[in-house]
Structure 1
Amino acid sequence: MTKRTWDLILLGGASGVGKSLAAARLANAEDAFVVEFDDVVAAVQELTTPDQHPGLHHFGDGTAVEGLTPERVLELQIATAEALEPALIGVVRNRLTVPVPAVVEGDYLTPAACARAVALGRAAGRDVRAVFLHEGDAGRITANYAAREPGDGVQADRAEVSARYSHWLAAGARRHALPVVDCRPWATLADRMDRALGATGGQTSV
């Protein structure tokens, strides 16, 4: 990667596509640190109840998706992500007050919230960038889950939802002129992410 000019990178993408590895690579290369948005999600869920904020608790008991169609699970996942948009903006506002670079990564970063965050950074004179990793093949995501979580068996249904969610995120990112980077081939992902993050203005897909 070329010399860093950014202050904050928002790295979005569906579960199982390789965001954590990509975020670690970015952070290590630029002496930044990683903010896992899942930690923020857990915190806000702990602070609320399903009655107080139902949009944050669709998957709270770990069994809520049993018997639901992939289409319905996807709807609930999108609803959860949209309910969490104010939390992401809060994280970004806080990061804009300090001079330490960071990479925020997570499943629940929506294109709409990321576009707003980029604009907030611009207004504050800070360089906030966003990029979305995309993997639309459920079979590939199933294989990723098997490698990452070998004790959980074949997670084909979960991977199907993740692939559909990845398509939703990619389409939204393009509407907001945010770069979308295909996860494969993995060997060239780092270079392609560098190019996408270096793009100034307009939509990028690599």
Structure 2
Amino acid sequence: MAEEAKAFVVEFDDVVAAVQAVTTARGHPGLHHFDGDVSRLAPARVLELQIATARALDPALLGVVRNRLTVDVPAVVEGDYLTPAAAAIAVREGAAAGRAVRAVFLHEGDPGQIAANYACREPDEGDQAERAGISAAYSRWLAGQAASHGLPVVEARPWPTLTARVRQALNQGRTDAA
């Protein structure tokens, strides 16, 4: 979709890495929850820290969106640390500026599918079932938050129809998933 619209793609993971590189845990603790070894933490705690990190990054997302509103080149901002609350603010600010800012959240709630994705992407990492469970829980949290902000949520699968379903959700502004 970004290619069709000739949109600039902002991979928010790059923004996260940049923000973390220029901050410290002491000055911005919310951005550095994962600096140390978290492997011994309970999955519920890791999820809590992931949500806290995402929320701490809301100002960075809004900074990116506000900057993109100053130019006529369309952009797509994508990444795991985008919160529905910040996306809703971005949509409102875009409307106030006379610009179309839209948001959609993809949802994958199956830990088995997520583990399989990790295995393909990171074959040397071994079993990542616990991490996949946390990711599925985070996806459910994002979906619930998006729904509460009136933002569309689209199931990630089936993959062959994802682009069409995302386009439809953005055009209709409706929620397709829990």
Q: Which runs of 4+ in 1 moved over 6 A?
A: none
Partner residue of 2:5 out of 30, 40, 47: 30
Question: Match of 2:18?
Answer: 43
Equivalent residue runs for 1:116-127 within 5 Å = 116-127=89-100
Normalising by the residue count of structure 1, what TM-score does the alignment of the two structures yield?
0.83
Task: Extract unaligned runs of 5+ from structure 2.
Answer: none
Question: Match of 2:50?
Answer: 77
Normalising by the residue count of structure 2, what TM-score does the alignment of the two structures yield?
0.96
Deviations 1:21-55 (A, max 9, x none): xxxxx211221121011111111111111110110
SS state of the match for residue 4, structure 2? helix
Displacement of 1:204 after TM fit? 2.1
Question: Match of 1:58?
Answer: 33
Q: Cα RMSD between the aligned structures?
A: 1.0
Q: What one-letter code is carried by the residue in structure 2 that aligns with 1:70?
A: P
Partner residue of 1:91 out of 60, 64, 73: 64
Displacement of 1:105 after TM fit? 0.3
Return the alpha-carbon distance in structure 1 between the equivalents of residues 21 and 104 of structure 2: 28
Return the alpha-carbon distance in structure 2 between the equivalents of residues 43 and 187 of structure 1: 33
| Identical positions, percent | 67
Return the alpha-carbon distance in structure 1 between the equivalents of residues 139 and 41 of structure 2: 19
1:168 aligns with 2:168: no
By relative contact order (CA 8 Å, sep 6+), the higher-ranking structure is: 1
